[in-house]
Amino acid sequence: MVELAADPTAVTLTFDDLGVLATGGIDVFLYEANEDPNPPPYYITVAGKRFAFTGATYLEKGHGAVLPRWVREEEAAGRLVLMARRTERLLAYVHDPAATEDDAEG
């Protein structure tokens, strides 16, 4: 169930809201954002982990598709990756367990 947060730039999802994208020998969680009429969120929270939009988008297939290499690099660095499909592009989100949240509530 997609849950909009008080912050319009954030959304909270469950694992039931995600699919899996298998491409180039990698598997990555995928949020189908095409169904959402709102602009893509900057933050996606899943199971208490906050993923931030990296500002990068990738082609899923074709000449410019570099997703598998990028995902492997992020995972090797200890970061978790989530993708959101919007139109014909994949929006990249990353959760860095070593990072501190810069906008803690309180």
CA–CA dist 86, 38 (Å, integer): 11
Q: What are the pLDDT digits (tens) for 51-69?
A: 999 999 988 776 556 677 8
Q: Are 81 and 48 in contact (CB under 8 A)?
A: no
Token pair, residue 64, equals 């410019």
Q: What would the pLDDT profile of 62-97 be if each residue is shown by its tens digit?
A: 655 667 788 889 999 999 999 999 888 899 999 988
DSSP per-residue string spanning 23-60? ETTEEEEEEEGGG--SPPPSEEEETTEEEEEEEEEEES
